Amino acid sequence: MSARVAVVTGAGRGIGRAVAVALAADGFALALTARDPATLAGTAREVEEAGGTAWALACDVRDEDSVAAMADAARGLGPVHTVVANAGIAGPTAPLHEITLADWRDCLATDLDGVFLTFRAFVPALVAAGEGSLVAISSMTGKRPLHGRTPYAAAKMGVIGLVRTLAVELGPHGIRVNAVCPGAVAGPRIDDVVARQAAARGISAAEALAAFTGASPLGRLVEAGEVAAACAYLASDVAASITGEDLNVTAGVVMY
C-alpha cells in the first residue's frame, strides 16, 4: 500500500517545515508548496531524512489558478488524504486608521482566502474518497486581541469560522476539518512581531516579549515542533472523532 499523501502550504520554514517533517515521520508522502519552490529545498531534505518523499511545488495561495495547478500536481503523488493550510503573512502592525486598504486586503487574501482556495481545491476528491483531514493554521490572535493587528486577527478568526462550518458540511462524507491555534512561536517571525509591537506601543523589545511569555503559565514561547505535533495528531486516525475544533498550542496563554 502506498503512503498517504499530505499537502502543506507555506512549507519553506517555521511551522510549515516542522509540520512537513512530522507528517513524513508518520509515513506521509509530502507535497510541499511555497510561492518560490526554491525555498523548499531545506524542508525537502529534512522530509527525506525523516524517511519521506517530498515534491516541491510552486503555489501562491492568493491566486485561484495557482492553487488549482498545485492541487493537480500534488495528486501526482497519489490520492491526497491530508491538507495543512499553513501559508500566511503577519500583515501590518498599526492603528486601524493608518492601515491601507491594500495592506488589509493582502493580509486577508493570504491568511483567509488562501485557506478557502486551498481547501476548496481538494474537497471534491476527498468527498469521492470518503475520508480525509483538513487542518488550517489559525492563531491565538483569532481568539484574543493583539495591539495593532486588526487585519491578522480578523483573518485568523475567519479561519475558525470557516473550519467549524466546513466541518459540518464535510462530516457526512467522512472528512474532518480542524484548526490549530498557535501562540507566539519561537523563531525569526516572532522576533519581527515583537519588534513591531515594541515600536507600535512605545515599549522596549524585552517588554514586548514579556507580554507574550508573561501571559503563559509555562512562562515561555511555543516551539514549531509542538504545533507540528498537533497537526500530525489531527491528520492521524487517532483523531478520528475530532472535527470542528480549534486546538490551542499556546503554552497556556489561551484556554478557550
Neighbours of 83 (CB within 10 A): 28
Distance CA 43, CA 182 (A): 20
Q: What is the pTM of this model?
A: 0.94
CB 128 within 8 A of CB 173: no
Q: For cell 498517504, name the residue.
A: 4
Neighbours of 254 (CB within 10 A): 20
**What is residue 47's predicted lDDT score, i.e. its pLDDT?**
96
Per-position b or e across 154-166, b if 16+ CB within 10 A of its CB: bbbbbbbebbbeb
152 part of the active site? yes
State the DSSP code for 222: B
Of 207, 208, 211, 215, which Cα lies nearest the Cα of 251?
215
Which is it for the CA torsion 25, 28, 34, 39, positive or negative?
positive
Instruction: Give me the tens of pLDDT residue by residue for the chain, a chain 256 residues long.
Output: 367 999 999 999 999 999 999 999 999 999 999 999 999 999 999 999 999 999 999 999 999 999 999 999 999 999 999 999 999 999 999 999 999 999 999 999 999 999 999 999 999 999 999 999 999 999 999 999 999 999 999 999 999 999 999 999 999 999 999 999 999 999 888 888 888 888 888 999 888 888 888 999 999 999 999 999 999 999 999 999 999 999 999 999 999 9
CB 230 within 8 A of CB 181: no
**Sheet with strand 132-137: strands edge to edge:** 54-58, 29-34, 5-8, 80-85, 132-137, 175-182, 246-249
**What is residue 1's predicted lDDT score, i.e. its pLDDT?**
37
Of 23, 18, 255, which Cα lies nearest the Cα of 133?
23
CB 59 within 8 A of CB 66: yes
Distance CA 26, CA 50 (A): 9
Say which residues have a Cβ less than 8 Å from residue 161's Cβ, sequence separation at least 6: none
Catalytic position from the list 28, 55, 116, 152? 152
**What is residue 92's predicted lDDT score, i.e. its pLDDT?**
95
Distance CA 69, CA 90 (A): 25
Domains of the chain: 5-184+223-249 (3.40.50.720)
